[in-house]
Amino acid sequence: MTYKIKYSEEADVLTVILEEKGSLSHAEEVGDIIVHYGDDGKPLFMEILRASKLIPLMVESLAKKEVTVA
pLDDT value at 70 more than 70: no
Note the pLDDT of residue 66: 66
Q: What is the pLDDT of residues 23-63, one digit of tens each?
A: 999 999 999 999 999 999 999 999 999 999 999 988 888 77
Quote the pTM value: 0.84
Angle (CA) 70-29-7 rounded to 5° is 75
Strands lying side by side in the sheet with 43-49: 4-8, 13-17, 43-49, 33-38, 24-30
Q: What is the pLDDT of residues 4-17, one digit of tens each?
A: 999 999 999 999 99
